Amino acid sequence: MAARESRARRPRVELADIVRAHGTAFRATHRLCAVQHRALRAIERCRTAALGGELRQCDACGTQRYVYHSCRNRHCPKCQTRAKERWLAARRAELLPVPYYHLVFTLPHELNALAQGNPRALYAMLFAAASETLIEFGENPRWLGGEIAATLVLHTWGQTLTQHLHVHALVAAGALSESGSWVRSRRGFLFPVKALSAVFRGKFLAALSAALSCGALTLSGSTTALGAPGAQRAFFADLRKNAWVVYAKRPFAGPEQVLEYLGRYTYRTALSNERLVSVDASTVRFRYKDYTHAARRKVIALQPLEFLRRFALHVLPRGFNRLRHYGLIANRSKRTLLAKARAALDTPAPTSCALASEAVVDFWHRIADVDITRCPHCHRGTLRVLATLAPQTHPPP
């Protein structure tokens, strides 16, 4: 009993704790770009006196509580829940009453070094190659013969924070034809995976070759040799040797499963605080799934600076959008095409959603059944704002 109580009182390890403890040494020994510095600084300061906040007091027992502001950085594991729920609410209104397929387009690890020096360009090529492949197969009368609806999500990490560049694609099982009818896919089948892989590889390598030819990519470190034509030919020959990985999962049973999937894969950072086990002066330990052994849950130990190096790999370029929509749900023509698709499927348009203006108190009531205004000490009174706290330049630890 005492052991259980001890574990319950033990403070949870957070990514912010690791950055505060080892961030200075990491910055001193690793060359970081501005957006990586910004992300680490935001995570370090999130919900601390450095960002300011409020002093609240219970109107029943008088207990006082400091509530600090969030950093709202998209790489912070504490700042994604509300953004994810708003995004899901918007996607809920776009779902069609058809099955959905989950596909994954993965880049070979031989491209990792080039992506580290040119993340914006390589990620854009990945999006373009995957989306163009899906659209091309959707327009082909042999498979569907119409315009598909697809959402693509970029992930750059594997379970142990190593670099693993891939996009998840959620694709409706069917397409809207030019005549305005809905073309359903064959049961249990959308597109042939081997053909998808070959076309995806061809499109990506064509874009990469064009970028290298016109000098649009930065070549440094292990990629410097690619400046020579002979080295480029050998590099592309190696990339063409093996089939690229395109994974297709059986269709989802219905819209609820689609939303469950979206919740897992959209607004995620490379590592959630829940996966962290412990941190000390020499080791960071966190949980991961070993997919080579039936997704068995294991714990990996890394040196703190190596842990932060791996995490920094997955900080996205400034302003880069990792969630993109294509075909029927592309922003430029979504309203018109979705209306046509719903008419073809004889399904009414969903009611409008007002979550964009939802108050924070109402949001946590709905998502977690938690009243954030209730006093955590007496559980009877309401926390009232006693004072507004300005951000502190040098906050206490």
Provide the terminal-to-terminal Cα distance of the chain, rounded to the nearest Å: 32
Residue 6 has pLDDT above 60, yes or no: no
pLDDT value of residue 80 = 78
Alpha carbon of residue 257 to chain centroid: 18
Lowest mean pLDDT among 46-55, 232-241, 251-260: 251-260
pLDDT confidence bin for 322, thresholds 50/70/90? very high
Instruction: Give the Å distances, CA to CA, from 36 to 30, 105, 188, 221, 309.
Output: 11, 26, 43, 19, 10
pLDDT one-digit tens code per residue, 96-137: 999 999 999 999 999 999 999 999 999 999 999 999 999 999
Amino acid at site 170: L
Higher pLDDT pick, 252 / 193: 193
Buried b (16+ CB within 10 A) or exposed e, 55-77: ebbbeeeeeeeeebbebebebbb
Contact (Cβ atoms closer than 8 angstroms) between residue 19 and residue 308: yes
Query: Cβ-count burial of 148 within 10 angstroms (0-12 exposed, 13-18 middle, 19+ buried)?
Result: buried
Beta-bridge partners for 73 = none
| Nearest-10 Cα torsion for 245, 183, 144, 149 | -50
pTM, to two decimals: 0.90
Q: Above pLDDT 90, what percent of the chain?
A: 72
What is the overall mean pLDDT for the chain?
A: 89
Contact (Cβ atoms closer than 8 angstroms) between residue 273 and residue 15: yes
pLDDT confidence bin for 3, thresholds 50/70/90? very low
Buried b (16+ CB within 10 A) or exposed e, 169-207: bbbbbbbbbeeeebbebeeeebbeeeebbebbbebbbeb
Longest dimension (CA), the chain: 77
Alpha carbon of residue 244 to chain centroid: 22
Contact (Cβ atoms closer than 8 angstroms) between residue 187 and residue 125: no
Distance (Å, rounded) from C-alpha 115 to C-alpha 154? 13
pLDDT one-digit tens code per residue, 7-34: 334 458 999 999 999 999 999 999 999 9
Query: Sign of the CA dihedral 172, 316, 364, 288?
Result: positive
Which contiguous run of DSSP H or E holds residue 279? strand 276-279
Contact (Cβ atoms closer than 8 angstroms) between residue 246 and residue 105: yes
Which pair of structure tokens corresponds to residue 309? 């190096």
pLDDT one-digit tens code per residue, 37-85: 999 999 999 999 999 999 999 999 999 999 999 999 999 998 877 778 8
